[in-house]
């Protein structure tokens, strides 16, 4: 799983990942590491697990 955003100042690009299984009833796991909006230099990391996705379904990772 991802741990940090890209260290490419001044942009500090987010990293995203998806873990998918094309066979069987396994959940999909999505993750994003984004630069902190505060004074911290560490990343804000979000994960989302989705079950029973069908072709054409979408998932959105969004900060709270």
The answer on pLDDT for 1 being more than 60 is no
Residue 55 located in a structural domain: no
Q: How many domains does the chain have?
A: 1
Burial class (CB in 10 A: 0-12, 13-18, 19+), 33: buried
Residue 10 located in a structural domain: no
Residue 39 located in a structural domain: yes
Residue 58 located in a structural domain: no
Residue 9 located in a structural domain: no
Residue 26 located in a structural domain: yes
> What is the percent of the chain where pLDDT is above 70?
95
Residue 3 located in a structural domain: no
Q: Give me the mean pLDDT over the 31-50 stretch.
A: 89
Distance CA 61, CA 31 (A): 8
Range of the domain at 46: 15-50
């Amino acid at each position: 799983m991802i741990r940090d955003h890209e260290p490419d100042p001044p942009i500090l690009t987010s990293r995203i990942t998806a873990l998918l299984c094309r066979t069987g009833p396994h959940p999909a796991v999505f993750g994003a590491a984004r630069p902190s909006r505060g004074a911290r230099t560490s990343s804000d990391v979000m994960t989302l697990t989705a079950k029973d996705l069908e072709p054409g379904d979408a998932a959105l990772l969004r900060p709270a």
